[in-house]
């Protein structure tokens, strides 16, 4: 793809994002055919948004999630500053097609992991982390049917990123804990709506974090100090409607709540 095609695709997706509208898929002349082209469009979309990239999300971190959207692995998407929800905030579902909330582990980077040739190990990646946080993501897609457009177009569309809420840093010593077996529960309007664990996040949220560090060293500029990474849903996404509230409970790692209008 040339820069003109990359710009055309990004501008189209950003327009649909701002207007809460949908397209079937990108036109053939500016449709990405690879992950690299998808990430080039995503980077241009972030530039057009005039918002800071404050971190990253990982989509399709479970086998079920990958099968649902017909991809063969996870996808990375940047988190835009204008989509961060403050504690006690409320998210409008107007124009949101997916209408789900996801409970996720988040990591804030204390040290950068820049672009380089050699892969980062899990130990290197964890050594660069400053803190662990509970998080809720409210994803969405700019495609009419996001399950059929493929990985490259989903990456171009920021891997179904939309709203996200990051809770306070966990006070418990998370480094000494088994995140794979750590239980996470979600409540909708006070009633239990789902349960899961870190095992649903690429088998281990720490492995997911290492995956995105290596994805971005290959297809981006790497992770920066201060970036937050939400690593994928720990449980089946919770359907939400206007008027609902969702609480994600990570035990002694913390809990957070989000209301919908």
Instruction: Specify the CATH number for the domain of residue 256.
Output: 3.90.850.10
Question: For the chain, how many structural domains are there in total?
Answer: 1
Which pTM was predicted? 0.96
User: Is residue 37 assigned to a domain?
Assistant: no
Spell 179-194 as b/e; 16+ CB within 10 A means b. Answer: beebebbbbbeeeebb
Cβ(245)–Cβ(91) under 8 Å? no
User: Is residue 28 assigned to a domain?
Assistant: no
Query: φ, ψ for residue 35 (rounded to 5)?
Result: -60, -45
Q: Positive or negative CA dihedral for 215, 218, 219, 222?
A: positive
Domain that holds residue 201: 52-260
User: Is residue 13 assigned to a domain?
Assistant: no
The reported pLDDT for the residue numbered 63 is: 83
**What confidence tens digit (pLDDT) does each residue in 90-149 have?**
999 999 999 999 999 999 999 999 999 999 999 999 999 999 999 999 999 999 999 999
Torsion of CA 13, 229, 40, 217, to 10 degrees: -170
Element (DSSP H or E) covering residue 53: strand 53-59
What is the pLDDT confidence band of residue 68, given thresholds at 50, 70 and 90? confident
Instruction: Find tokens 């995105």 and name the residue.
Output: 212
């Amino acid at each position: 793809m040339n820069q003109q095609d990359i710009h055309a695709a990004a501008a189209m997706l950003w327009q649909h994002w701002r207007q809460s509208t949908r397209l079937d898929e990108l036109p053939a002349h500016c449709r990405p055919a690879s992950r690299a082209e998808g990430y080039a469009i995503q980077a241009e979309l972030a530039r057009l948004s005039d918002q800071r990239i404050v971190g990253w999300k990982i989509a399709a971190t479970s086998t079920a999630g990958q099968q649902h959207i017909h991809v063969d692995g996870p996808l990375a998407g940047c988190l835009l500053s204008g989509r961060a929800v403050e504690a006690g905030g409320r998210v409008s579902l107007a124009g949101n097609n997916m209408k789900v909330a996801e409970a996720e582990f988040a990591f804030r980077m204390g040290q950068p992991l820049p672009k380089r040739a050699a892969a980062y190990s899990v130990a290197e990646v964890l050594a660069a982390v400053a803190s662990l946080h509970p998080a809720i993501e409210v994803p969405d897609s700019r495609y009419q049917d996001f399950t059929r457009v493929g990985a490259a177009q989903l990456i171009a569309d920021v891997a179904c990123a939309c709203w996200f809420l990051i809770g306070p840093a966990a006070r418990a010593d998370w480094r000494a804990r088994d995140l794979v077996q750590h239980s996470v529960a979600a409540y909708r309007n006070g009633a239990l709506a789902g349960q899961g664990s870190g095992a649903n996040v690429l088998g281990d949220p720490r492995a997911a974090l290492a995956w995105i560090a290596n994805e971005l060293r290959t297809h981006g500029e790497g992770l920066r100090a201060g970036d937050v990474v939400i690593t994928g849903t720990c449980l089946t996404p919770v359907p939400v409607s206007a008027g609902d509230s969702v609480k994600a409970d990570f035990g002694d790692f913390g809990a957070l709540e989000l209301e919908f209008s």
